[in-house]
């Protein structure tokens, strides 16, 4: 039980770290806009790509899981539709 608590705490700390980096990127972007020092945006773009590459699975875990489930459901429906259309059963039902 203690091991799962430690893991949950570690995940929370990791998520807070990525949220902090995300807000830092936002703050730097706003500073670049207000001061018109657009070179800072290069740093923001780099930071954003880093966050997207490394932090996406931590920050948006629930969203990504739900999205993947929906994609799998759509694939099942698409495959079923493809099978029905290829077998032409739907057209035979209408004729009867």
Q: Which of 94, 8, 14, 1 is nearest to 54 (CA)?
A: 14
pLDDT score recorded for residue 7: 85
Q: What is the pLDDT of residue 14?
A: 92
pLDDT tens-place values along the chain, 96 residues long:
576 788 889 889 999 999 999 999 999 999 999 999 999 999 999 999 999 999 999 999 999 999 999 999 999 999 988 888 888 766 666 555
Which pLDDT value is given to residue 21? 95
pLDDT reported for residue 63: 94
Burial (CB < 10 A; 0-12, 13-18, 19+), residue 66, is exposed
Mutual angle of helices 2-35 and 40-50, in 10-degree steps: 160
Q: What is the pLDDT of residue 8?
A: 86
pTM above 0.75, yes or no: no
């Amino acid at each position: 039980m203690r091991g799962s608590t430690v893991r949950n705490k570690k995940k929370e700390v990791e998520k807070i770290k990525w949220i902090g980096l995300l807000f830092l990127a936002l703050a730097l972007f706003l500073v670049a806009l207000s001061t018109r020092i657009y070179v800072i945006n290069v740093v923001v773009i780099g930071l954003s790509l880093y966050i997207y590459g490394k932090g996406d699975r931590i920050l948006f875990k629930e969203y990504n899981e739900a999205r993947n489930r929906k994609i799998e459901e759509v694939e099942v429906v698409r495959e079923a539709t493809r099978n029905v259309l290829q077998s032409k059963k739907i057209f035979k039902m209408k004729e009867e």
